[in-house]
């Protein structure tokens, strides 16, 4: 039987690539997104438009932090939870309320729904931001201790803890996937590659943060999708994984 997968944040950057992959690989997909105003709703609708004709795709515009999910959706096999308020820089000050709403309250409601509806597997998009600053590189999910240094990172670590707690108390099976900065087509407009390309194409300036000598490791979107897809049939459950560029073990 075709597995039915809920993808939250389906209209976003990573979500729309994931929906494409799942539909191409014969899954049925239920997409959920509230078209949050972090960036243009037009871009999100454009991301989603290729899938709307597929018979194996259903879409619900819904804010997961609000009650009532059970009125729209009653069953699925797997949830891949990507919906969130992303962005480290914006998570300070008053906007932290949005991070609490979209990254913690929405997740907790979805975990409750997952337990009530006996979901087989819950896959949570965490972030390298849970690590904070570390001198020990590369980071290692078994050795590096998560010490976030941003409010955003702390909501993602809280998210990982909520997944673990719902597993310990209600046997919900979960994976937490720590993505490192992701790049590729449809990258969010607030991210570096989008900004740099936009500046190059329009001949405008971009804001340089720091002295420009910072180093960072980026992951291509196809590698992220490959990593997520591997968790669909992994046997070692209830684990935290880092997703990096596809190494030989993926080929």
Ligand X SMILES: NC(=O)c1ccc[n+]([C@@H]2O[C@H](COP(=O)([O-])OP(=O)(O)OC[C@H]3O[C@@H](n4cnc5c(N)ncnc54)[C@H](O)[C@@H]3O)[C@@H](O)[C@H]2O)c1
For 87, other C-beta atoms within 10 Å of its C-beta total 18
231 in contact with ligand X (CB under 6 A): no
Question: Can residue 228 be called a binding residue for ligand X (CB under 6 A)?
Answer: no
Q: How many other CB atoms are found less than 10 A from the CB of residue 175?
A: 22
Nearer to ligand X, 171 or 217 (CB): 217
Q: Does the footprint of ligand X cover residue 110 (CB under 6 A)? A: no
Output the CA–CA distances (angstroms, integers) from residue 56 to 19, 51, 112, 184, in the order listed.
10, 9, 25, 25
Q: Quick one: DSSP state of residue 104?
A: I
User: DSSP 3-state helix, strand, coil percentages of the chain (rounded to 5)?
Assistant: 40, 15, 45
Question: Does 44 sit near ligand X (CB under 6 A)?
Answer: yes
Shortest spacing between CB 102 and ligand X, in angstroms: 4
Indicate whether 36 belongs to the interface with ligand X (CB under 6 A): yes
Q: How far apart are the first and last CA of the chain?
A: 27
Catalytic residues: 152
Tell me how far, at minimum, the Cβ of 217 lies from ligand X, in Å.
11
Which of residues 5, 6, 7, 11 is near ligand X by CB under 6 A?
A: 11
Q: Which stretch binds ligand X (CB under 6 A): 20-28, 110-118, 181-189, 231-239?
A: 181-189
Residue 64 touching ligand X (CB under 6 A) = yes
132: left (phi over 0), alpha (psi -120 to 50) or beta: left
Interface residue list for ligand X (CB under 6 A) = 8-9, 11-15, 32-36, 38, 44, 63-65, 82-86, 102, 106, 125, 127, 179, 181-182, 188
């Amino acid at each position: 039987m075709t597995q039915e997968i809920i993808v939250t944040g389906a209209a976003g950057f990573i979500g729309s690539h994931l929906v494409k992959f799942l539909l191409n690989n014969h899954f049925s997909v239920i997409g959920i997104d509230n078209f949050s105003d972090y960036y243009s709703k037009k871009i999100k609708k454009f991301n989603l438009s290729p899938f709307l004709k597929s018979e194996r795709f259903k879409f619900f515009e819904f804010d997961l932090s609000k009650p009532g999910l059970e009125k729209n959706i009653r069953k699925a096999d797997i949830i891949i939870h990507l919906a969130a308020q992303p962005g480290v820089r914006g998570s300070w000050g008053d906007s932290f309320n949005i991070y609490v709403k979209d990254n913690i309250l929405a997740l907790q409601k979805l975990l409750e729904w997952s337990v009530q509806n006996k979901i087989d597997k819950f896959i949570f998009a965490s972030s390298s931001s849970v690590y904070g600053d570390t001198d020990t590189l590369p980071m290692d999910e078994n050795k590096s201790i998560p010490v976030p240094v941003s409010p955003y990172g702390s909501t993602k670590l809280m998210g990982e803890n909520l997944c673990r707690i719902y597993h310990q108390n209600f046997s919900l099976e979960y994976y937490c996937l720590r993505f490192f900065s992701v790049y590729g087509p449809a990258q969010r407009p607030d991210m570096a590659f989008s900004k740099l390309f936009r500046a190059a194409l329009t001949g405008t300036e971009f804001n340089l943060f720091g002295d420009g000598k910072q180093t960072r490791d980026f992951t291509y979107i196809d590698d992220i999708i490959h990593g997520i897809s591997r968790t669909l049939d992994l046997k070692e459950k209830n684990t935290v994984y880092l997703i990096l560029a596809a190494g030989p073990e993926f080929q």
